[in-house]
Structure 1
Amino acid sequence: MKKYILSLAVVSLFYTQSDACAWSDPDYDYFNLFTQTIIKDKAYLPFLHNYSSRFYGGYNSSLIPDDNVETWKKFFNNQLSYSETQNLVYKISMNDLNALKNGNPTNPLLQKLGTGFYSKYKEAIDYLIEAKYLEPFMSINYVESENSFYYDRDASRKNATALDYHKTIAALTSLYNAARNPEIKQRYGYQLVRLNHYTRNYDSALQAFKTYVAPIKLKGSVYFMSLDQLAGAQRGLEMNGDANWNFFQVFMNSKDRKESAFVSMKLSDTASFSNIMKRAHTNEEKNMAYFLLGYEDFNNPIPMMEKMYEINPDSEILKVMAARSINELERSYLPTYYYTSEAQKVSAKENSTDNAAKNNSTAQTKPEVKEEKLSFWQKIVRFFKNLFGGSKSEKTGDSAKADQSDDELFSNPDRIPFYNRTGYYYDEKTQDFLDDLEKFTDKTKEKSKDEYWQIADAYLKFLKKDYKGSSEILDDIKTANPEYMEEIKRMKVLNDIVSQPKIDAEYEDHLMKDYAEYFVEKKVKKDTAATDNFDYYGDVPSTADFLKDVIANRYFLQGEDGKSFLMNNKLSDLQYNPNSNLVKSVEEFYRKPNKTQFEQQIIAKNMDSVGNIDAFFSTIYGDRAMRLADFEKAKAYYGKAKNFAGIPRQNYEWTEKNGQTITPKQYAPAEYDGFKNISNLVFGHNVWESFGSPDAESMKAENYTDFPFIKTSMDKLELADALIQLKKIGNGTDEKAAKANQLIGNLLYNTSILGYYRQLFVMDIDNSNGGKYDFWNTDRKNPYKYYYKNFLDTSYIEPDNFDLSINYYQKALKLSNNKEEKARILFQMASAEQGKYYQYEAKAPKDFDYSDPKWSEKEEARQKEMDQLKNQKYRTYFAQLKAQYSDTETTKSLMGSCSYFSYFMR
């Protein structure tokens, strides 16, 4: 797992499939390719689908019109624009309006309107003056109940009880009676209902509505503003049925009050819905009631959608339900990361179950396969290729992947996008839901005049991999709606790219020529001072991100691992998983001549700041050769790595003024940088096992008198050269040869996963813990199944071969005549043997998990079995040490420093 210099930077790496982490947001974990917000009636935007909050918030609030502003704009005969009306109603102060009334306006807008505006709309301006006086007080006071453990955090805030109730009621009543314009009159009635509601005079609020609002036969926004207040008073009187019905009317007839009215309805039980359905008489009311029921109970909205369809197939709220349904499907078909059981710590049984389920699901959504038409000559060429080149089944690895036909590439079950059972809130009927929804949209598009349904149908066919059917629908759509046009354009791009069987050079040229906007990153200048726009979860996944993943997956399936890796990662990321096969594939791409424009601008740009790229690759190869004890090959590689710039790490700093700044790590002159400054203690042995202590405390040097070429501090080239000399000396038969073999064994053990210097040959800067040092993931050849996204979350470097160090120790043991040295060598051999056991234990089969009710007893039995095996097969050298060298000073000293060895000896 990737390690940064500052711990603050690593929090994003702790995200796991379980999403138990508090930093996870489910609305960032799928590609929102179907734009929900293209619905025409923007008043329903809050009711689109998301998981992270009760209402959808991914839109500009100005898209939802303010009913009150629109009503005032109309009242003023559209003399003012919407923004000017909004300014007049909400922002211009009471004093400014009084100045207009007195004939000397100072506000620029009021000066523009002139004193004649007041003369023409005297009653309206007088009402606004009164409304602005009341507005600061128009909230209900907080009353703490005897069981409440909350407190009023804003106890000093004004509320309606701060007004002189009787005086204010009298004034509003007088103004109501004096007003001649019915709309202004109704507005005073609204203020009377609201004042009584907020002062908890609920009965008076009901009476005020009957007396001052209802008699005026206007059913515009003011009426529903008043009805909203009436319903609140009814809730206070526990008239819940009436309150729900009136909130329902507000929800149905207002634009900007839908969200608050829905919350106020409190539709938490079947009885509440039944009450609304009984009162619903018009088709519009019934349609809205079905919408609310489908919105609340979203397990399967299609039955409600069918009822809504029967009432009005052109209903805007039916489109909202469809958008929500598609969004739910997207989360299973288009996750930002396709998890694979191979990359998780699961048993073989679970693994096969997952694959079987996935293969079964993909069979239901098999893409349309293009028929491959071959000419007579092509058939002859293919015949001889098969005759002399061998069958595809005989080929392995990348060569087999690269030689796949279009049919094979299309039918690959790992070809994204596909149904992913690890999506959020997994429902085993999700795929049936896709079929049912497609049938519904297919019939609705025939009856509705809105192109929305054609777009929805085309998108569902895209999810089912029917790219031809999807494209045909899109080509037939005729629309002038700019949002629809943008969605159609995007979907045509999606269909083109995901339906391409193989990404070759010709198609890469097509991508750059026609779709460069999705792949070429645009430089965006960020305002570091605009901290209000900071998004804790990062950027929302985009269409460009999805297409990048698709291309990366195609390369992976085609056997072009290097290109697949670089689509999602930087070259420097190889340091965290320096897997030989992957590194080789990335290097092959690096050295590829005549790269296409796509390869140069989109892929090769991720060959980022590792300094000298050739030295970077050579260091990785040299490290691998060292771990395999091939010191000659390691020296050859290290000889080409003299210009190695150091393991590319970054420093992360954050200040209030500048925000986060990222700078390359600069290594101190004596600091280990991945190549230089290696202590000769690497040939020593443990005094005690503590990775966090300085090496001088944890390690002790051997006697290097006979080996002057072992320097106090070395680089890797010098280290490899020293090992070659030790190996040559080790071919002798004397005590010096014994010591040489022991030193080689020490180095191989000390740089293994168990050793203090475990970081030296795995491209790490220190030995602090991380994914590289987990035994459970070291036995996988490649845990990635779809592409190399989230590369840093799973380590798969090749495992250590502890037999290499044991073999050198055996030579040393055979040649040595010093009993104390033999005891030390045997202890080192026993330590290496421990590593072999840990490797076995990590991959040992386990056919039960935490969900098993008998987990504890099964785990205990398994542990006993493992302990028995450990003592029988992996305690060879401990037993020999105990039997033959228990009387040595070395053994006694080891018993004092190693508690486990002490326990074993007893």
Structure 2
Amino acid sequence: MIVSISSFLLFLNSDNTKSCGPYYDENPFLYGLFEPTIIKDDSLSAFFLSPSFFSDYSQKRLLNPEVDNIKEWKDYFNNKYTSEDLSNIIYRSSPEDIKILIASKLNNTYSIIPKHLAKSNITKDFIAGKYSEAFKYLIFAKECEPQVTDNRKDAWSELIRDTTAMTELLEKGKLFYQETTDKYLKERYAYQCVRLAHYKKDFNLTIKLFDDLFNSLNFRSIIYYWALSHKAGAIRSLGDITYSSYLFSIIFDKCLSRRLIASQNFKSLDASLLYETLDYCKDNHERTAVWFLHAYLTNDFGSMKKLYALEPNSAYLEILLTRAIDKLENDIYEYWNRDNRTNWSNQFIRLDYPNFYSFVISCAKKENTLRPYFWYYAAGYLSLLRQDYDSMKENFTSAKRLTTNDEPEYNNRIKILEILAKVDAQKIIDENFESNILKDTKWVLDLKKYNSDDAFSWMMKRFSEKYYKQQDTAKAQMCLGFRLGKGDYPETVSPIDYRSNPGRAPLDKIIRFVESDYNRTAFDKYLIENFIYTKKDLYEIRGTLLLSKYDFENALLWNFSNIKNDLFLLPADPFQMNLNDCHDCDATVLTTKLYTKHSFAKRMLELENEIKSTSKNRAENYFLLANAYYNITYFGNSWMIIDFYRSHYSSDYDPNYLDCSKAEEYYLKAITASNDKDFQARCIFMAAKCEQNRFYIDKGFFQSRDYYYYYSDCEPNPQIKQENYRMYFKNLKDNYSKTQFYKQALKECKYFNYFVTNK
């Protein structure tokens, strides 16, 4: 059955709102198997679908204005100077540096020349008086520079323009334009004049200067288009959106070093304004640039069809096709929702994309696009998403038939998708299928190219879904937790799952699968060898879950005493008590015995047995147990004994992780077992900490993230008194005010001090 995918009308959603910002980031959040870099045209790679709409793609060599400009200067000087030397004087030198050069020329000395210019052949020729006209222009350009660049001290400062100085420079530039007979320099003087007028915000003058100074030259280098971008900006500032957009489309198409600026200044237009812009176009090729930019900035499917009708072999079409497929993939499988509950196949099935596929396959079959094999490849991939495997095979066969020798990678890309199709199409995963697919599975993992890691993750995801359907939860977990490479773990498996979702992640079943050698297949071994957790890791997870239930005896049976990891040694003494919770403080005073989870469990059993067997030190032992039960909660210094991570923003905790009642119970037992008033005061204070923590939990302050904002207008939350969460503070104040500990608590605990002084 052919399954369609989603309405094509929204395929090209603009990506200008998806960047995290404000810093540049070229790493897209988009997830998918259709890698846009399959297109090797670097002049258009900045226009792949990406959330980083404002990334600094100008550093890409083909789009870099500096690279373009230096190339023209090298040609002008007949390659006499290196790109580095030219860049140093044009882009790396300040106006002050140029003044020093002029002084050096007058004095015929090199002693004061800036270091980055001292050894340059350009400097030597300048001082010797060679290329005087060219250096005259470079000096003028440096004089203009402060008036046409961003001179703000920071992003919050106001941009300052000296319009008087700009007017003087403009007149000077026009004079130099008239004086020189060098067409190359004349064009550049014209550019400086047009730019000055634009930044002066004299938009009519900008347009007039461009028309007067450039039209008489009959000479077009990149500078012509650089100046044209200023004219287009001036026209837009005067309110003519359609003509300015037309000019920006020309600049986009003709001048790579202004391609980014042009795309950012082309305005998204409604239908009537779009056709007004198209009316300015002189031929079909000019129209393709307008349609491309319109499609790039909007979600209009008609743009792609129109572009194909005008110029089927346009490179712009390939970019729009990759953007469409990348957007489709992102809609199917949102980056931020990649969890082990997402059913990929069902998402593919429910989407409806018939118009898109029909358009792509019709273009492919006509074989009149720039690279017909690319269109067949895209059609094959869409067929896979539609789960139309026969069409997929047919399209991939055509792609391989037409692929040129200089792009052999298509064969590997197609092989990846064909392997995925095998897994996707298989109804039941049995030993025979596992045996047949193992070699292909290893090949995809080992390839490390062409998004093969994403493809492998997709394949493991499909395996896991099918295993879950077959009730083979152990293998399903193995697939979800497959390790892609050294240190490269997927985020689909977590120790938390084994506690919070035991039906989907049955730990005991997984351990039995890992331990058993009976009838283990090659595929089983492959999963076990590459699972994120080793057998020892699983033992520690099992032991930790038992510790969280206070089942210390059975926890020790899992033999995790020699497991080495980041939390092998506890960072603090779990039997230590402090007035104020301070994990870092506890860690700094840890100078004696270092505990592990294993030695902690042994010590807990020893203390319990001592209490049962003898009355000696009973109060102290109760106190040590109480400290331990407190410290293994969220609030204590050894929370990692019973859980795997600590976050104030999560509610996915073991119930005991936030519960201080066990600690409170043992502090009260310690009180009854002792006659020492100071010791009793200490225990009552600790019980008060448990009581206060219970208030945060019971009243929802912890979940609402108000735990750290207990004070409001410099006063504690009144509820804590009103609702009897201060019983132990009252007991401490009423019955233990003469103890030494009372004085210490009054001094060190702001909560207790406030309670006593404001009762």
TM-score of the pair, normalised by structure 1: 0.52
The percent of aligned pairs where both chains have the same amino acid is 17
1:189-218 CA deviation, whole Å, 9 max, x = no partner?
111121122222333323322322211112
> C-alpha distance in 1, partners of 2:287/2:211?
26
Contact preservation (8 Å) 1:680, 1:712: no
Superposed, 1:397-796 pairs within 5 Å as: 416=344, 419-420=347-348, 430-443=352-365, 445-449=367-371, 451-465=373-387, 466=389, 467-481=392-406, 484-486=407-409, 488-500=411-423, 501=426, 502=429, 504-505=434-435, 507-512=437-442, 515-518=445-448, 543-555=452-464, 557-558=466-467, 559=472, 560-567=475-482, 573-574=494-495, 577-578=498-499, 579=502, 582-593=506-517, 603-604=528-529, 606=531, 612=536, 615-616=539-540, 619=543, 638-639=556-557, 641=559, 643=561, 649=567, 673=597, 676=601, 771-773=651-653
Distance change >3 Å, CA 125–CA 553, structure 1 → 2: same
Closer, same or farther in 2 for the Cα pair 1:165/1:574, shift >3 Å?
closer
Q: 1:565 to 1:230 in 2, by over 3 A?
A: closer
Counterpart Cα distance in 1 of 2:567 and 2:122:
61
1-structure distance, mates of 2:562, 2:82: 65
Could you give the per-residue CA deviations for residues 458-499 of structure 1, whole angstroms, max 9, x where no partner exists? 333343343533542443243354xx5446533422432442
Q: Distance between the aligned counterparts of 2:89 and 2:70, measured in 1?
A: 9
2:148 to 134, 138, 147: 138
Q: How far, CA to CA, are the matches of 1:681 and 1:240 in structure 2?
A: 82
Looking at structure 2, the residues matched to 22 and 174 of structure 1 have their Cα atoms a distance apart, in angstroms, of 44
The 1:332/1:221 distance shift into structure 2, 3 A limit, reads: same
- One-letter amino acid of the structure 1 residue matched with residue 279 of structure 2: K
CA contact (8 A) 1:575 1:647 kept: no
Secondary structure of the 2:257 match is coil
Instruction: Report if aligned partners of 1:474, 1:492 keep a CA contact under 8 Å in 2.
Output: no
TM-superposed CA distance for 1:314, in Å, is 0.9
Letter of the structure 1 residue corresponding to residue 319 of structure 2: V
CA distance in 2, matches of 1:165, 1:37: 47
Aligned-residue offset at 1:302 = 3.3
| Range with greater deviation from structure 2 (177-186 or 97-106) | 97-106
Per the alignment, residue 864 of structure 1 pairs with: none
The Cα offsets for residues 36-56 of structure 1, whole Å up to 9 and x where unpaired, read as 2444543333332123x4356
Q: 1:609 to 1:267 in 2, by over 3 A?
A: same
Q: 1:768 to 1:183 in 2, by over 3 A?
A: closer
1:308 Cα offset (Å): 1.1
Whether contact under 8 Å (1:43, 1:65) holds in the other structure is no
Aligned residue type for 1:475: K
Alignment of 1:31 with 2:31, yes or no, is yes
Shift in Å at residue 255 of structure 1? Answer: 1.1
Local SS of the residue matching 2:137? helix
After the TM superposition, which residues 63-82 of structure 1 pair with which residues of structure 2 at under 5 Å, given as runs?
A: 63-66=62-65, 67-77=68-78
The DSSP-based 3-state class of the residue aligned with 1:33 is coil
1:45 aligns with 2:64: no
CA contact (8 A) 1:418 1:463 kept: no
Q: What amino acid sits opposite 1:48 in the alignment? A: F
**Corresponding residue for 1:391?**
none
Structure 2 counterpart of 1:326, one-letter code: I
Q: Which amino acid aligns with 1:496?
A: I
Instruction: Write the letter of the residue equivalent to 1:165.
Output: T
Deviations 1:719-739 (A, max 9, x none): 9xxxxxxxxxxxxxxxxxxxx
Label 1:311 to 1:83 Cα distance change in 2 as closer, same or farther (>3 A): farther
The 3 A distance-change label for structure 1 pair 141 and 440 is farther
Structure 2 counterparts to residues 286-435 of structure 1, below 5 A = 286-298=287-299, 301-336=300-335, 416=344, 419-420=347-348, 430-435=352-357
Alpha-carbon shift at residue 315 of structure 1 (Å)? 0.8
1:41–1:561 Cα change, 3 Å: closer
Q: In structure 1, how many angstroms separate the alpha carbons of the residues matched to 2:643 and 2:219? A: 76
* Whole-angstrom distance in 2 between the partners of 1:123 and 1:311: 46
Q: How many angstroms apart in 1 are the aligned matches of 2:189 and 2:348?
A: 57
The aligned amino acid for 1:499 is: K
Structure 1 residues 191, 33: closer, same or farther in 2, change over 3 A? Answer: same
Aligned-residue RMSD, C-alpha: 5.7
1:336-380 deviation line (CA, Å, top 9, x unaligned)? 57768x96xxxxxxxxxxxxxx9xxxxxxxxxxxxxxxxxxxxxx
Counterparts in 2 of 1:269 and 1:302: CA distance versus 1, 3 Å: closer
The 5 A counterparts of 1:810-889 are none
Cα distance between partner residues in 2 of 1:228 and 1:209 = 10
> Does 2:242 align with 1:246?
no
CA distance in 1, matches of 2:89, 2:19: 48
The 3-state SS of whatever aligns with 2:529 is helix
Aligned position for 2:167: 165
- 1:398-433 C-alpha deviation (Å, 9 max, x unpaired): xxxxxxxxxxxxxxxx5x566359xxxxxx865335
TM-score by structure 2 length? Answer: 0.61
Instruction: Supply the distance in 1 between the matched residues of 2:311 and 2:465 (Cα, whole angstroms).
Output: 48
Q: CA deviation at 1:245?
A: 3.5
Instruction: Look up the equivalent residue of 1:332 and give its one-letter code.
Output: D
Contact 2:166-2:200 within 8 A present in 1 as well? no
Structure 1 CA distance for aligned equivalents of residues 20 and 246 of structure 2: 41
Q: Is the 8 A contact 1:498 1:550 kept in 2?
A: no
For 2:233 and 2:213, how far apart are their aligned partners in 1? 17
Sort the Cα spacing of 1:706 and 1:260 in 2 relative to 1 into closer, same or farther, 3 A: same
| Distance in 2 (alpha carbons) for counterparts of 1:154 and 1:114 | 40
The total of aligned residue pairs comes to 581
Code of the aligned partner of 2:403: K
Shift of 1:276: 0.6
Structure 1 pair 120–437 and aligned structure 2 pair: CA distance change class (3 A)? farther
Residue 280 of structure 1, CA deviation: 1.9
Deviation of residue 554 (structure 1)? 0.9
**CA pair 76-449 structure 1, distance change in 2 beyond 3 A:** farther
1:21 & 1:263 partners in 2: Cα distance? 19
Cα deviation for residue 516 of structure 1 reads 1.9
- Whole-Å separation in 2 of the counterparts to 1:113 and 1:332: 57
Q: Is the 8 Å Cα contact of residues 49 and 324 (structure 1) preserved in structure 2? A: yes
Tell me the SS of whatever aligns to 1:585. helix
Q: CA deviation at 1:296?
A: 2.7
Please say which of residues 306-315 and 105-114 is displaced more in the overlay. Answer: 105-114
Deviation sequence 1:269-308 (CA, Å, 0-9, x none): 445323212222311222222222222321xx43222211
Q: Is the 8 A contact 1:441 1:456 kept in 2?
A: no
- CA distance change for structure 1 residues 616 and 209 in 2, over 3 Å: closer, same or farther? closer
Q: Is the alpha carbon distance of 1:29 and 1:183 closer, same or farther for their aligned partners in structure 2, counting shifts above 3 Å? A: closer
In the other structure, the counterpart of 1:830 is none
Change (3 A) 1:644 1:20: farther
- What is the CA distance between 1:322 and its match in structure 2? 1.1
Q: For 2:292 and 2:327, how far apart are their aligned partners in 1? A: 17
Cα 1:281–1:32 change in 2 (3 A) is same
TM-aligned CA distance change 1:338 to 1:542, over 3 Å: farther
Q: Relative to 1, partners in 2 of residues 1:297 and 1:593: Cα closer, same or farther, differing over 3 Å?
A: same
Distance 1:603 1:618 in 2: 17
Q: CA deviation at 1:64?
A: 2.1
Distance 1:450 1:508, change over 3 A: closer
Structure 1 distance, partners of 2:331, 2:39, is 23
Q: 1:94 aligns with which of 83, 92, 98?
A: 98
- Contact persistence 2:539–2:560 (CA under 8 A): yes
Deviation, structure 1 residue 454: 3.7
